[in-house]
Amino acid sequence: MAVSGDLTLDELRLALAPAVADSAIFDGWTEAAVRVAAEIEGVDPDVAALAYPGGAMDMIAAWFESIDAAMAAALPPEQLAGIKIRARIAGLVQARLDAMLGREEALRRALSIMAMPQNAARSLRLGWRSADVMWRLAGDTATDYNHYTKRALLASIYAATVAVFVDDESEGKAETRAFLDRRIDGVMRFEKAKAQLLNSGGDGFNMARFLGRLRYPAR
């Protein structure tokens, strides 16, 4: 389906992103990929070029944002509401991976660009944003330190899973699915243990009381 010619540059940036990713499989994340994508989608190539003033990283960021949209569409709130948090997170990560199926080479090239020193800071922001979007879709409303630890953990899980996904040639990406399940199980065990440690009461060990004593030792 051709992209509408009435879009703003920001709208065009997102609408054209999947086609740019398809072209990046052959042309890399380059101006040539944008030009080919524009021609396929019926967009003026000169106008399309204006949508990615930052070059490759702008193209990659737009693609990731389009993946966010595809993930949200695949798992709407009413569908997520009826399942446990572990299944929500696993489903959201899997939905992101599904949106990249067939574009592994484009992803591999994107990861190489993101790993360049000059792109490190922006790449970290993109990873954090992906984790934040997933947690928000999962219904997370934490505002304390858990807000940050949850996103840091999920960002690390997602990055590690993508590294497996991009080279996974098993049937139906079975190795990637198994890897993701193991990593999420590990985090769930960690979160359960952390909650028990922090919330234990009575005569047992209490983390808050312990930290308080460190700060204000008994005399």
User: pLDDT value at position 1?
Assistant: 47
Question: pLDDT at position 192, please?
Answer: 66
Name the token pair of 70.
Answer: 């595809």
Residues 20-32: tens digit of each pLDDT: 999 999 999 999 9
Residues 99 and 9 in one domain: no
- Is residue 130 predicted with pLDDT exceeding 90? yes
Indicate the range of 95-104, 113-122, 204-213 predicted with least confidence: 204-213
Which of 48, 46, 10, 40 lies closest to 22 in space, CA to CA? Answer: 40
Q: What is the mean pLDDT of residues 53-77?
A: 96
Identify the CATH number of the domain in which residue 123 sits: 1.10.357.10
50 and 62 Cβ atoms separated by less than 8 Å:
no
Query: 171 is in which domain, residue-wise?
Result: 56-215
Whether 13 and 83 map to the same domain: the answer is no
Tens digits of residue pLDDT in 189-219:
766 666 666 665 555 545 455 445 544 444 5
Shared-domain flag, residues 22 and 116 = no
Asked whether residue 28 falls in the same domain as residue 123, the answer is no
DSSP string, 130-162: HHHHHHHHTT----SHHHHHHHHHHHHHHHHHH
Q: Does one domain contain both 32 and 74?
A: no
CA distance 97 to 84: 20
Same domain, 66 and 169: yes
Q: Which residues make Cβ contacts (< 8 Å) with residue 66, sequence separation at least 6?
A: 14, 17, 18, 99
Whether the predicted pLDDT of 99 surpasses 50 = yes
pLDDT for the residue 174: 97
pLDDT of amino acid 144: 83
Lowest mean pLDDT among 118-127, 154-163, 184-193, 205-214: 205-214
Q: Indicate the number of domains in the chain.
A: 2
Same domain, 77 and 175: yes
Judge contact between 109 and 24, C-beta under 8 A: yes
Biggest CA–CA distance in the chain, Å, is: 78
In this predicted structure, what is the pLDDT of residue 207? Answer: 46
Mean pLDDT of the chain: 88
19 versus 210: the higher-pLDDT residue is: 19
